[in-house]
Structure 1
């Protein structure tokens, strides 16, 4: 096995937010590699559906209903995992909740709740994982992020704030682990817009149905990226989707210009043009999949792509960079020879 590569077969993996969306897709991806997967989420019907999916994919699993904003509950869940599945090898933080609304339309209580789940839930999960991994000086923690960890957009202040916080938290933690020369790895996967169930169950005050900003990717793209990152944790970060790359590079080069662009386009691009149903479920305070398994795909299958060529490039970035460098050297050498001939 190559240095730094982790074989996922027979590993114990914890995935938070596993009852739907990215978390469920990731759990399935790990199962396809033969992992034992602990599924953590609030919705019991969603957890039961995720367990069926994982076992159909070839993995074994347990379900643990837990609210990740409760640090003690997360600790108890970690104890259960190690007692029933064995020492935790990989912990994946995914769980989140949020509000689609203008900032002034969000109450302090809603903001606090979204932040406790979407940011502190990652902190508590990481604490629980590290407490156990330090005893063995091994393990991997994967933080699932977003292009919005670097670039805020309108109507998602709570979500963007949490993702920015996770980004800073993870960088600080990584530095500490490197200082300690720890064998524990942490990596972050920055996601594009995905066709998940969040757009039909996140609290929304938008007049129209919320949608991911195109281009839209299927959740399986995210699941494969997370499994790859867990198996290759020496990379500090992975960018998934060409739109993520474009957003992050654009924000680095011309953030003010992007502010103005998003001010013009960011409201309409996050709404379908169809009225938001009055009876849409809300998962901020209670799980939307407690009684009904809502799956992990959203309502945009016909507009979503199941592949990301950019992810392939990200997986093999050193090979591609080396090939590009070789081409550049060859082209430069040829140009020098041609100039030399012309001079004579």
Structure 2
């Protein structure tokens, strides 16, 4: 059983976390402190395994000091910072001084559950997180090695980095996760500060995706593969080899389009962009560059392809099929269908059934 404690000036935050873990039997709420001093006193007395600490941009320095004090009081404590802000400066600072993870509002129940399960596994295996703040190294030369080589050479370089700095024999799983999170954050800021003229939204997407995906990994090999792909994507972006990376982003967008249409979700450009941590304008640009057509045209073609299947394989009404394929107005569906295929949905259904009848009953 993990005992957790909340430090936040917002009196509702304790109830929020209690609600998030409502159906999780392996974690128990031990209360909330509304000031840092009272929170530190309780940590000294009760030594909870897990602490949720609210940090704010305006008080960043103050809360960084609190993180350091908590880790001095109890180096084995799992500290998770949370904030209403999504500023990467907060994330970087929190991870630099020993935080296990960082949450931005609105807090996702599935993600926080995965994080707690990883912590629980580490506690059960006695794989406690060690604060490496006093043993930091400068990664500048390492970053340069990752960037100033071909993708083929990067595999060799990354293997050396992995063994030398990120996964020594005595490193447990949680420590490797923490070091890789810190490595990626420092790499991100190094890129932002060093390659100002080359940085675009792609780097932000790459970094966001890495920080999200690392909360899902279960093994060191998965972490290694994830961090290698992060380094490779950064290399490709900085060295202007972005075509393959853009293609990968478009493939992911197309998978989401398929998923949204099949689940009958709203499928605006903005929704897909949010899901991919990128701006709608950037997604629109790379989609047209890779596919040769506008985003909305691709969506309509996908919807029409699905409509053709339904017209051929079901007896659903035109109105029902239009709705299933994402068209709220059946008449607009009919107009688009005729514009693209040269016939109405009813005519298409009739012709296809005649073809099927001839195939099944040859004369």
Range into which the TM-score falls when normalised by the shorter chain: under 0.3
Structure with the greater relative contact order (CA < 8 A, sep ≥ 6): 1 or 2?
1
Larger Rg: 2
Going by fraction, where is helix more abundant, 1 or 2?
Answer: 2
Going by fraction, where is strand more abundant, 1 or 2?
Answer: 1
TM-score (structure 2 length as normaliser)? 0.26
